[in-house]
A and B are shown apart, each in its own frame.
Chain A
Amino acid sequence: QKEVEQNSGPLSVPEGAIASLNCTYSDRGSQSFFWYRQYSGKSPELIMSIYSNGDKEDGRFTAQLNKASQYVSLLIRDSQPSDSATYLCAVTAYSGAGSYQLTFGKGTKLSVIP
């Protein structure tokens, strides 16, 4: 059973601070890693993809991947109240004959306090 674990939160940070969201996964064969943002009542929106060890930056967002530790994180710099949402970690594995399996964590609820 492939698992993706996230702290459910809520994680509260003051406006302007760095929010750090963490995710661990069980399948060492996982190949692609994604972060989604979901506002209440809306569908999830893909905000970051990362495929290799290290950091990937996009604006105020940085994704960090450590395959040896089976750990992926999302940092949000200069957090804004508009960042308040649930953040979903997702991990994929391809398993023969083009089979694609995407496993989602249950999400971390982030609240940015003005």
Chain B
Amino acid sequence: SAVISQKPSRDICQRGTSLTIQCQVDSQVTMMFWYRQQPGQSLTLIATANQGSEATYESGFVIDKFPISRPNLTFSTLTVSNMSPEDSSIYLCSVVLITGELFFGEGSRLTVL
């Protein structure tokens, strides 16, 4: 498995502000993804974080709202921009190891007031 450090673990933010979530992995991984999980709902893939290039976003998610960086193989950030209460959710970093197995970070619980 891999040790995935995600921070902050939780935050309470004001409407209209932005928050950047960091994800650090202790080993080299083949792929990194960002998911969102709203209360009582299933996982929703936001985007694939591509090393050194623009992320690949899923339908319904755009770069202006969720800019993602991945400067190297083991680190990525997700920013939630111009937040609204609808953005309140758990945001999960996930990584794929060379085995093809996907592991999740502990998640960042975001509350927007």
Write out the residue numbers on chain B whose beta carbons fall within 8 Å of the beta carbon of A100.
30-31, 96, 100
**Assembly CA distance A105 to B106 (angstroms):** 20
**Assembly CA distance A102 to B92 (angstroms):** 15
A46-B43 in contact (CB<8A): no
**Assembly CA distance A80 to B100 (angstroms):** 30
Q: Give the size of the chain A interface in residues (CB under 8 angstroms).
A: 18
Is B1 part of the binding interface, using a Cβ–Cβ cutoff of 8 Å?
A: yes
Is B57 part of the binding interface, using a Cβ–Cβ cutoff of 8 Å?
A: no
A107-B42 in contact (CB<8A): yes
CB nearest neighbor in A for B41: A106
Residue from A34, A42, A43, A104 in contact with B101 in the complex, judged by beta carbons closer than 8 Å:
A34
**Assembly CA distance A42 to B90 (angstroms):** 9
Determine how close the nearest CB of chain B comes to the CB of A65; give it in whole angstroms: 15
Contacts from A to B (Cβ < 8 Å):
32, 34, 42-46, 49, 88, 90, 92, 98, 100, 102, 104-107
